Amino acid sequence: MRNFLLMMSIGISVCSCSGEKKEIYKDPNAPIPARVEDLISRMTIEEKVGQMNQFVGVEHIKSNSASMTEEELKNNTANAFYPGFTEKDIERWTEEGKVGSFLHVMTLKEANYLQGLALKSRLQIPIIFGIDAIHGNAYAPKNTIYPTSINLACSFDTTMAYTIGRQTAREMRAMNMQWTFNPNIEVARDPRWGRVGETFGEDPYLVGLMGAQSVKGYQGDFNSTEDVLACIKHFVGGSQPINGTNGSPTDISVRTLYEVFFPPFKEGVEAGAMSLMTAHNELNGVPCHENDWLLTDVLRDEWKFKGFVVSDWMDIEHIHDLHATAENLKEAFYQSIMAGMDMHMHGIYWNEYVTELVKEGRIPESRIDESVRRILDVKFRLGIFEHPYADEAESMNIRMCDAHRETSLDAARNGIVLLKNDGVLPLSASKYKKIMVTGINADDHNILGDWSAPGEPEDVTTILEGLRQLSPETQFNFVDQGWDPRNMNPAKVEEAAALAKQSDLNIVVAGEYMMRFRWADRTDGEDTDRSDIDLVGLQNELIKKVAASGKPTILILINGRPLGVEWAAENLPAIVEAWAPGMYGGQAIAEILYGEVNPSAKLAVTIPHSVGQLQMIYNHKPSQYFHPYVNNKPSTPLYPFGYGLSYTTYDYSDLKLSASEIAKDGTVNATVKLTNTGSREGTEIVQLYIRDRFSSATRPVKELKDFARVTLKPGESQEVTFKITPDKLAFYNKQMQYGVEPGEFIVMVGPSSADDVLLKESFIVK
């Protein structure tokens, strides 16, 4: 009887003396499951379906309806409006409780306004606002812009990933935004693909660790107004498209899915991610947005995912109009929902057609309730019902505060990779008194990277500004090459070549262009894929002509994807891969060039010589280079995964294993001695790789299984110990059964994945 009474007290609803149902969902002290069930019991089918739909913001609609045609709308995946409907229609639907979420709301003022409309609805269910906060809430103006994800991955700093997630969450909530479409935990295995820079690179282990810490950083305890909803994306395979272009078909074996592409998503689920976004592409002939094997069998049944699934930009519509596996839009909605989709991004016909599907009996209302239950659960957990607005007066006390700015600078320092140094670096102000600086990215806010709003001048330090601030006694002569690599002026190239001869040293800042406010002019970023990985335009000509001066020439790269800078690697004395280092990237680069910061980052992706080497990854199968290329091109990369230089040197020695034989469920420790043999303090990223020597199914030649960031003073040594547990040895055997096979395992420890720098020992699993 006592249990029965308890169930009654937290049930869907209870009756008051007047006969009306008590509004349990409005009681912040009631258990969340009871609040959810009470609210669902009060909702019409139209209101339920509305919770499953998302729209772009009204200011976004106003802007794009005035500047875009319907034809331009068809292939645009960044901007939208709704032909035949206006922002007034969207506002009315919001007041009627038929909108569950908005994206592309870029200001606190608009977010609060739209939230106010939602709270006029019958049940007063608040909106959850989503935004692509990829490296900080950078897509919205006046927020801290951290280095991009590929920078973060190159630091191998999982603690920094968590810290940036926590700080991003605070800045988002200060703008009344509660849902970030991040982390992108796709495993990037094709540099032609424009989205490499928003990933954590090519290694499943590193991607999984960085993604999990980002999830934990965003979501926190997932019960306060300083937490936001993380979204692991894109599920799955879009980072290995058949032709390198975003959204093109993906054909990947089930084995490769389980060994390479699934592990980061499984880790994200285990880290507590409460939303997941499906991928644009079809996977092995089935669009991901209607793939019940992915969304139900793997995600729900196998991994026990508890959150909700959201579509990507109009991709449910593409089941019909692009993939052609649904005869019409209504059928596309049906297929996606029945496969496991919970929320639609974005569009106007969802509410009408999905409601019809329920009333026709094709979709059970209980299936709709499943999705709505997941969405409402998140809204209650994040406290949006009790705290639907953000305080405009308090907002800027949180956004871009000193602590967040300092994190952005530290992350930039730790994520910039020194690729080559023949002794010219670090620079000496007394030796190089006159320096020529040129290149498209030398004095441009493009260092902010993709998914960034234009920054205010006082909030961004360009590379030229950073150099002048750090070394004011040096004469920096700047030759502006413009920001657009595809339309460089040959006369400006010649001007730089002439001035280079009069300088003590020259710096060329090259790379890609990524800023979204010039969407059609970009060469890197979302939906900006390439058929090669060479420097665009006259940039190689600029580098060669400046180097022809005979003066030392340094190349700095600002980019999101690996670039095949083969000539520069062979002919220049120094190359710095800075990626997109964020709002203080210019300061961090200057500090590294002048030696105030000792570079420590290591490549999270392999850099090929050229596009003809693709696929070029470190964890390839043994037969991949059995036959060399016949045109004298190497089978090795330009720069390998895990590679990066320092201003000090390190010696690896005395690799020892704690046992030569272990049981299948046993562990073994690998210990290596690391010594700083140089003249200054530095941080080394020690990397552990493992290979299963003989196996029932082919295994990669090596796989990253652990790493450690170790800081040593000159002459200091430290023993670094890695614990090798069964999960680091297990794989899917010939029958796709997961476990550890007996046999020899080779342990490799060193400063990169290159064979010639790795110490090796082996042990036997009995």
Sign of CA dihedral 593, 596, 600, 603: negative
Q: In this structure, are residues 529 and 194 in contact, taking their beta carbons and an 8 Å threshold?
A: yes
Number of Cβ atoms within 10 Å of the Cβ of 612: 13
Q: What is the pLDDT of residue 16?
A: 42
Q: What is the pLDDT of residue 76?
A: 82
Q: Are strands 682-692 and 743-750 parallel, antiparallel or unpaired?
A: antiparallel
In the chain, residues under CATH classification 2.60.40.10 are: 650-765
Token digits of residue 91 = 């506002």
- Candidate list 312, 377, 444, 706, residue with the active-site label: 312
Q: What is the pLDDT of residue 685?
A: 98
In the chain, residues under CATH classification 3.20.20.300 are: 43-397
By CB neighbour count within 10 A (0-12 exposed, 13-18 middle, 19+ buried), where does 472 fall?
exposed
| The CATH number of domain 43-397, selected from 3.40.50.2300, 1.20.1420.20, 3.40.50.10280, 3.20.20.300 | 3.20.20.300
Q: DSSP letter for 22, please.
A: P
At 651, is the pLDDT very low, low, confident or very high (cuts 50, 70, 90)? very high
For 229-256, write each residue's pLDDT tens digit. Answer: 999 999 999 999 999 999 999 999 999 9
Of 27-36, 71-80, 85-94, which range is least confident? 71-80
Q: What is the pLDDT of residue 235?
A: 98
Q: At what angle do helices 87-95 and 58-67 cross, to 10 degrees?
A: 160
For 657-709, write each residue's pLDDT tens digit. Answer: 999 999 999 999 999 999 999 999 999 999 999 999 999 999 999 999 999 99
Q: Could you give the CA distance from residue 480 to residue 471 in angstroms, rounded to a whole number?
A: 20
Q: Could you give the CA distance from residue 300 to residue 305 in angstroms, rounded to a whole number?
A: 5
Q: DSSP letter for 639, please.
A: B
For 262-280, write each residue's pLDDT tens digit. Answer: 999 999 999 999 999 999 9
> Does 15 score more than 80 pLDDT?
no
Q: What is the pLDDT of residue 8?
A: 34
**Distance of CA 63 to CAs 55, 59, 105, Å?**
15, 6, 12
Q: What is the pLDDT of residue 9?
A: 38
- Angle among Cα 263, 264, 266 to the nearest 5 degrees reads 65
Residue 360, C-beta contacts closer than 8 angstroms, at least 6 positions apart: none
> Does 412 score more than 90 pLDDT?
yes
Residue 463, C-beta contacts closer than 8 angstroms, at least 6 positions apart: 437, 441, 442, 443, 447, 509, 556, 558, 585, 586, 589, 590
Choose between 482 and 67: higher pLDDT. Answer: 482
> Does 428 score more than 90 pLDDT?
yes
Q: Could you give the CA distance from residue 261 to residue 279 in angstroms, rounded to a whole number?
A: 12
Q: What is the pLDDT of residue 71?
A: 83
Q: Could you give the CA distance from residue 652 to residue 676 in angstroms, rounded to a whole number?
A: 9
Q: Could you give the CA distance from residue 199 to residue 378 in angstroms, rounded to a whole number?
A: 25
Q: Active-site residue 480, yes or no? A: no
Return mean pLDDT, the chain.
95
For 185-243, write each residue's pLDDT tens digit. Answer: 999 999 999 999 999 999 999 999 999 999 999 999 999 999 999 999 999 999 999 99
Q: What is the pLDDT of residue 20?
A: 60
Share of residues in the chain with pLDDT > 70 (%): 97
Q: Could you give the CA distance from residue 186 to residue 262 in angstroms, rounded to a whole number?
A: 9
Average pLDDT over residues 508-531: 97
By CB neighbour count within 10 A (0-12 exposed, 13-18 middle, 19+ buried), where does 566 fall?
middle
Helix (H, G, I), strand (E, B) or coil at 336: helix
Which fold would CATH assign to domain 650-765? Immunoglobulin-like (2.60.40)
In the chain, residues under CATH classification 3.40.50.1700 are: 416-613
Helix (H, G, I), strand (E, B) or coil at 508: strand
Q: In this structure, are residues 296 and 340 in contact, taking their beta carbons and an 8 Å threshold?
A: yes
> Does 14 score more than 70 pLDDT?
no
Q: Could you give the CA distance from residue 609 to residue 670 in angstroms, rounded to a whole number?
A: 34
Q: What is the pLDDT of residue 10?
A: 39
| The CATH number of domain 416-613, selected from 3.40.50.720, 2.60.120.380, 3.40.50.1700, 3.40.1360.10 | 3.40.50.1700
Q: Are strands 759-765 and 661-662 parallel, antiparallel or unpaired?
A: parallel
Token digits of residue 730 = 């297990």
Q: What is the pLDDT of residue 17?
A: 42
Average pLDDT over residues 728-746: 98
> Does 5 score more than 50 pLDDT?
no
Q: DSSP letter for 179, please.
A: E
